[in-house]
Amino acid sequence: MKQILVVDDSTSMRRMVMASLRQVEDIKFCEASNGLEAIERIALTPMNLVILDLNMPDMHGLEVLKFIRQHQSFSQIPVIILTTRGDESSQSEAIAAGVSLYCTKPFNPSVFAGQVMGLLQ
């Protein structure tokens, strides 16, 4: 069973992301509503994939991504940024920080599910 952490300050967005991935077999979801909570979940539970919003209270998603990439125990976890920020600067920063995939909201659920399956392989 693969563990996916969905990090977004919006409960409805977390639910939408999880609903769009129900077609992916053998996955279990974990949720976090901010960056600090995400880091705690990653430290306590082995994750196979992290889906991360950028704009959150307490800690920006880019800081969470950098934390993941800087720690050897977590550095190989694929991270998808799923955000409303489609500007080139945000994408460039995320790529430089080591994001696996950068997606913008709104997203196509079936395309997104295919991308997630590809990263879980």
Residue 23 pLDDT exceeds 90: no
For the chain, the domain total comes to: 1
Query: 59 is in which domain, residue-wise?
Result: 2-120
Check pLDDT > 90 for residue 58.
no
Rounded CA gap, 115 and 111, in Å?
Answer: 6
Q: What's phi and psi for 68, nearest 5 deg?
A: -60, -45
Q: pTM to 2 decimals?
A: 0.96
Q: What is the pLDDT of residue 93?
A: 96
- Rounded Cα distance between 65 and 12, Å, is 22
Q: Distances from the Cα of 6 to the Cαs of 16, 41, 59, 61, 81, in angstroms?
A: 10, 10, 15, 12, 10
Query: In this predicted model, what pLDDT tens digit does every residue of 65-92 receive, in sequence order?
Result: 999 999 999 999 999 999 999 999 999 9
Specify the amino acid at residue 91: Q
The CATH number of residue 82's host domain is 3.40.50.2300
